[in-house]
Amino acid sequence: MLLRGLTWLVLFQLLGTVLNVLLVPMLPGPIIGLLLLFAALLLRGSASESLQVAASSLLRYLPLLLVPPAVGVMVYTEAILQDFWAIVGVLVISLLLSLVFTGWLMQALIQRQSRRREDA
């Protein structure tokens, strides 16, 4: 069950990599794979249970999979420490502002939409 879903995920990732090299060098393989799998699910009209099981099991461990890339920060400790406050300042301020702005804007738009639907 799990294995069949996993097979599809790996195949779509590979297909994405092929298309990345052949046609769209600006999008990485996994993102092309994501878009293709989404399109395939739309065409098919349903997501099989094995695919759902595989996807949710894999996504449950997404934080774990992100640990190795995060460890890569250690290579740049010196460069980061040199401009520590500038980098942290820019990253923290811009992240916090844009995070709140995004959430606020989306919520305001959702509320406006539901108000309009009620009026109509």
Binders of another protein among residues 46 to 85 (CB under 8 A) are: 47, 51-52, 54-56, 58-76, 79-80, 83
Please check whether residue 20 is in contact with residue 28, taking contact to mean a CB–CB distance below 8 angstroms: yes
Please check whether residue 6 is in contact with residue 53, taking contact to mean a CB–CB distance below 8 angstroms: no
How far, in Å, CA of 35 to CA of 53, rounded? 19
**Minimum distance from residue 31 beta carbon to another protein (Å):** 6
Based on its alpha-carbon atoms, the radius of gyration of the chain, rounded to whole angstroms, reads 20
**Minimum distance from residue 67 beta carbon to another protein (Å):** 5
**Minimum distance from residue 120 beta carbon to another protein (Å):** 14
Residues 5-24 within binding reach of another protein (CB under 8 A): 6, 9-10, 12-13, 16-17
Residues 90-119 within binding reach of another protein (CB under 8 A): 90-107, 109-110, 113
DSSP annotation of 75: G
**Minimum distance from residue 89 beta carbon to another protein (Å):** 6
48: left (phi over 0), alpha (psi -120 to 50) or beta: beta
Q: Which of 41, 49, 82, 115 binds another protein (CB under 8 A)?
A: 41
